[in-house]
């Protein structure tokens, strides 16, 4: 039911183009996954996401566990029926949110005791419960419950996080029962390359259908992220998809692909849309700036999204300053479209043997672009 097909590899970098087969469709990789935390990508309808050609979206186990609850979603036919989405869905385990959002948490070998950020109710999240919740949510891809350590961290805390992540992965696999759901392991280890390698090697021995890289894009530099990926990739199974969690800066996507990553997700495109920031081929643009007051050009002349085809910078700036909801929708629409197409373009370049040029051209323009936030 789940199969990863490797189609092409860039000889210069190791960037990969492939396909991951799921019950709700084939996911072409590399792929960017918009985030629908509460079973909804903020400000976007499912039809609009399909128009952008988003191949898969991500939802959040922690938030849906607290509200409206996995039993209600199961009664609605799982996430696909609940939110009327007929393409693949991935759910994270909720581990990151348990550590970062819960008002009070206590990490134990059995799991994590935490209080809801909504009302203070106490819960105990175990690997088995994380799997049970995700099985009720019915995602095509579920994630093991893991311990994500804060950066910077000591070697001792990173070692403890790896030990728990590995132990919890084994418990997640033992608890997982749905044959129509792929359970991915998550590599942790902070910025310690040897710990990352050991975690990846032991997870590979458990033979998961895919592997995620967690604990990055949490405050480290881009150079540290890239070094970590380069040293980790030889330990990531080549015949399984590789997922870099929580990464959505355009430059990070291209550089992650260049290092062999297949899947990405991030809340950044919609979060930036809500703050008036948009991605363009020439860098990030702040639509609130006064210089766009009488600028009747599209957000990005090379973009064919709905916003760029139909509206001007001047109009979108006016909407944003007037507090109109349409501004956030248009900016989010553009940002999601930009990242989905950027990664799809990288995939096509890999297949056609020109990824090196694609990477160099994009990075040169984006990093040296005219627009500054």
Active site residues: 92, 265
The encoded tokens of residue 267 equal 């809340």
Alpha carbon of residue 248 to chain centroid = 7
- Which helix (H) or strand (E) segment holds residue 334: the answer is helix 325-351
Backbone angles phi, psi at 4, to 5 degrees: -105, 125
Distance of alpha carbon 305 from alpha carbon 109, whole angstroms:
48
As beta bridge partners, residue 272 has none
Contact between 59 and 361 (Cβ < 8 Å): no
d(CA 275, CA 188): 31
Assess contact for 336 and 268: CB atoms under 8 A. no
Q: How far apart are the first and last CA of the chain?
A: 45
Kindly report the backbone phi and psi dihedral angles of residue 333, in degrees, each rounded to the nearest multiple of 5, phi listed first: -55, -50
Strand order in the sheet with 112-115: 105-107, 112-115, 122-125
Report residue 111: phi and psi, to 5°: 165, -155
Q: 6: closest CA among 201, 212, 242, 207?
A: 242
Instruction: Write the DSSP assignment of 253-290 as a string of letters.
Output: HHHHHHTT--EEEESHHHHHHHTTEEEETTEEEETTSG
Distance CA 365, CA 283 (A): 7
Tokens read off for 258? 């260049």
Kindly give, in sequence order, each residue whose CB lies less than 8 Å from that of residue 229, ignoring residues fewer than 6 positions away. 213, 216, 244, 256, 259, 260, 261
């Amino acid at each position: 039911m789940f199969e990863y097909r490797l189609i092409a590899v860039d000889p210069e970098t190791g960037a990969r183009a492939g396909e991951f087969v799921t019950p709700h469709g084939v996911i072409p990789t590399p792929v960017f996954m918009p985030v629908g935390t509460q079973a909804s990508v903020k400000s976007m309808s499912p039809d609009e996401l399909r128009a952008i050609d988003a191949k898969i979206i991500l939802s959040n186990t922690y938030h849906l566990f607290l509200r409206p609850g996995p039993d209600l979603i199961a009664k609605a036919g799982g996430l696909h029926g609940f939110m009327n989405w007929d393409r693949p869905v991935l759910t994270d385990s909720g581990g990151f949110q348990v550590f970062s959002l819960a008002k009070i948490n206590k990490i134990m070998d059995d799991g994590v005791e935490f209080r809801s950020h909504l009302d203070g109710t106490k819960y105990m999240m175990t690997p088995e419960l994380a799997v049970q919740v995700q099985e009720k949510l019915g995602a095509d891809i579920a994630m093991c419950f893991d311990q994500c350590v804060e950066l910077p961290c000591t070697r001792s805390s990173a070692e403890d996080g790896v030990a728990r992540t590995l132990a919890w992965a084994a418990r997640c696999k033992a608890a997982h029962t749905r044959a129509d759901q792929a359970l991915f392991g998550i590599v942790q280890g902070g910025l310690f390359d040897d710990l990352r390698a050991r975690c990846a090697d032991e997870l590979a021995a458990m033979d998961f259908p895919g592997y995620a890289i967690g604990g990055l894009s949490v405050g480290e530099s881009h150079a540290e992220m890239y070094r970590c990926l380069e040293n980790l990739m030889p330990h990531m199974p080549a015949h399984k998809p590789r997922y870099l969690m929580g990464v959505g800066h355009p430059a990070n996507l291209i550089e992650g692909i260049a290092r062999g990553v297949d899947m990405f997700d991030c809340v950044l495109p919609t979060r930036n849309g809500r703050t008036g920031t948009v991605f363009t081929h020439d860098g990030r643009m702040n639509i609130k700036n006064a210089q766009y007051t009488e600028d009747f050009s599209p957000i990005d002349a090379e973009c064919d999204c709905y916003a760029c085809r139909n509206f001007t910078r001047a109009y979108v700036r006016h909407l944003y300053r007037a507090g109109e909801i349409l501004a956030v929708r248009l900016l989010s629409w553009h940002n999601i479209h930009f990242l989905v197409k950027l990664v799809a373009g990288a995939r096509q370049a890999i297949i056609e043997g020109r990824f090196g040029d694609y990477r160099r051209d994009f990075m040169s323009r984006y990093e040296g672009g005219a627009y500054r936030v």
